[in-house]
Chain A
């Protein structure tokens, strides 16, 4: 436990320079953009004259030099202040906290779906490499992998929401329904099915394939032959010896994919009108809302860092050899 805490602290401190790089790069990226927050704002107003633009720039501090603004931003960040969103006229932290639960819900469910279903089917396919089951499952997973998630999202919504009317077409919950407690949770779950499906399927396919090929590799190892020589049942060999070891690369993979999944949610959130990070980011970019975009990217990055940290702990639980290397370090 103490070791885990030490690991957490070390990793969090270690990620500070990384997050700093993220912040500075994002800042520079938006600085090099054509058009600034005022241009975007004037546009949303339907026009305005040069004097308005000038006074707006002054009030947003956009008339200062880039270095000065970066410094200002970083020093407020050091006080854990994420700044003020120009496009929304609200504190960035509020906006992020408002959207974070939806994103976490979407990502979490999609990850759970992708990982759960992906590994299970991966085990089914990998239990007998090169068997017919394996070939069919692998081929299907390849097709699912290659279907763009936005297209899948649109089709799912048409089929299940518009044609069959089984599920709501968009949103995170029934608007202004006044539901609470369990009824609300059920309502949200219902709304999540389609977006989670659209987002999760591609990763499910990916996890399936990784699991399958990892199992194929494990099958070749001596300890599997030894397990066979011990006369163990096939299911025990598949689950306890082969799948258990094949899970390790999958955990690593999950960490690497967490950032990609966050990115993938941009399109899904816009198709299913889910107010999450992806859509907020899109609005931040179109609004040239530097503090907001940095805030989002920073939070996403932090999220990825945390997920990876968590996965490292899980990995250490799954692989006893890791603990040895970390011991006392």
Chain B
């Protein structure tokens, strides 16, 4: 049953309300997606709080309208005008207006949100000529392409009347969410579950289809699979069922394995490099490491086929920007060894050229396994790597603040536009302490200039061209090594309908998700 399920035909089946139970593996402290734009938050909050637009398989520009019905950029790139949906009500009964959007943008997205701080860095003001129009004004030209690509992630709108005049960071509505979405936030029992109930006043016709969604907290990875099989839950997203168990579980009657629905949530497997290390500052050494990695093995064995090999910093799934015509590093141990010899790092009597400290990020099983693999791959070319295991906070501090690493394995996310979270991985001048940024001490003036130029280029085509250039430089100079990119897997009982019908399905509003009766 391992298929990318075509969602549409199923939608016609008879469905009637019901309670959908879903596995959740974390309990974010702050559940407000306007402040914390992360997938863990979206997974739950996106059903309650909606963005201006959501990603879509076949919407205009890859977007589906949500709270905004249209968006238009000015020629000079200094403003974007949003037309907002009419007749939308907050869960507390108040009407949704442009003031809410203005408030969210100016008071939350720009100053507080982890990604909004980048995208809306130059946002000066939001004008609200009427209740259904919001005009974003920028102090410097800002590409509409970037704004559009960022919309699903950065534009969760929260009610002004609840937050205005309070300390936003500690407002109780950050956990007891109030939004406009198809589901209302009903109950949270820490350590046990979140319960969302149907919003009768939802603007979408005939939506939502479910009466209730329950996110059941299952911190243990083996727990989700067991619960699915025991029919205690209906669905486990974000690869909560380990990849290695998929083959077996796909054969269980009544359970389906779905690999669609994460197209806009691409994670990248990246080897971060500390360029302060003399050896690693040498391009030949970096090239040798790139040649030493057998991407096919990584895809086949670690990801069990549920990933693709990377060519560069932009994933293939981002077809708008992706450029396949870049320097590649086929698996070639002999060449890698030759490069290292050339670089002047001869093997010692014990076969070791030099030693490195390798820190795989602890967040995913796959990053850890890749750490094991990389250690062995490096050993094959005479580099002795010592693995260092640390928990998330320690890894964070060691790599992104203390720079106490030589190589690190990280899983950055590609969020629709290189400017949001990709360029930061290679740009220079980022202060220490910023997670998922270039903390390897890499500095390339040309690359920095390119990134700066892209941020002001209004024309989408020109901007895309700059990013193609960007990919060429990155792959040639290897500030970091992109190994693979992957989306997650959803495992669901086959009674769940309309699963994976958009490229950010797990973190979308599930208004049309239904249970077959």
Contacts and interface: CB of A to CB of B under 8 A. Distances in A.
Interface of A: 33-36, 39-50, 52-53, 59, 87-89, 95, 98-99, 154, 157-158, 161-162, 165, 168-172, 175-176, 270-276, 279-280, 285-288
Given A53-B433, A273-B219, A44 B28 contact: yes
B506 to A, nearest CB: 15
B217 A273 contact: yes
Interface in B93-115: 112, 114-115
A170 B223 contact: yes
Given A44-B28, A87-B29, A175 B216 contact: yes
A46 B230 contact: no
B354 to A, nearest CB: 25
Contacts of A286: 391-393
Given A49-B431, A50-B433, 7 more contacts: A44-B29, A47-B114, A47-B435, A52-B117, A89-B174, A170-B226, A175-B192
Given A168-B230, A175-B214, A49 B393 contact: no
A99 B117 CA distance: 37
A162 B226 contact: yes
Contacts, number: 157
B494 interface: no
Contacts of B436: 46-47
Interface centre among A34, A99, A280 (most CB of B within 10 A): A34
Nearest to A165: B230
Contacts of A34: 390, 393-394, 397-398, 402
B186 to A, nearest CB: 9
B239 interface: no
A46 B29 contact: no
B122 interface: no
Interface in B388-444: 390-398, 401-402, 413, 421, 431-437
A172 B190 CA distance: 12
A157 B391 CA distance: 27
10 contacts: A47-B435, A52-B117, A88-B190, A99-B191, A157-B226, A162-B229, A176-B212, A176-B214, A270-B219, A286-B392
Nearest to B216: A175
B81 interface: no
B17 interface: no
A275 B191 CA distance: 5
B30 A89 contact: yes
B187 interface: yes
Contacts of A41: 29
B232 interface: yes
B36 interface: yes
Given A45-B114, A89-B30, A169-B227, A275 B217 contact: yes
A33 B394 CA distance: 7
Contact of B29 (A88, A154, A158, A279): A88
Contact of B396 (A35, A49, A276): A35
Nearest to B433: A50
B38 interface: yes
B462 interface: no
B433 A89 contact: no
A168 B30 contact: no
A49 B175 CA distance: 23
Contacts of A280: 191
Contacts of A50: 431-434
Contacts of B192: 171-172, 175, 275
A59 B169 CA distance: 11
6 closest Cβ contacts across the A-B interface? A275-B191, A46-B38, A35-B393, A35-B397, A40-B393, A34-B394
B222 interface: yes
A190 B365 CA distance: 32
A144 to B, nearest CB: 22
Residue among B37, B191, B391 having the largest count of chain A Cβ atoms under 10 Å: B191
B36 A45 contact: yes
Interface string B224-254: 0011011010000000000000000000000
Contact of A169 (B21, B175, B223, B397): B223
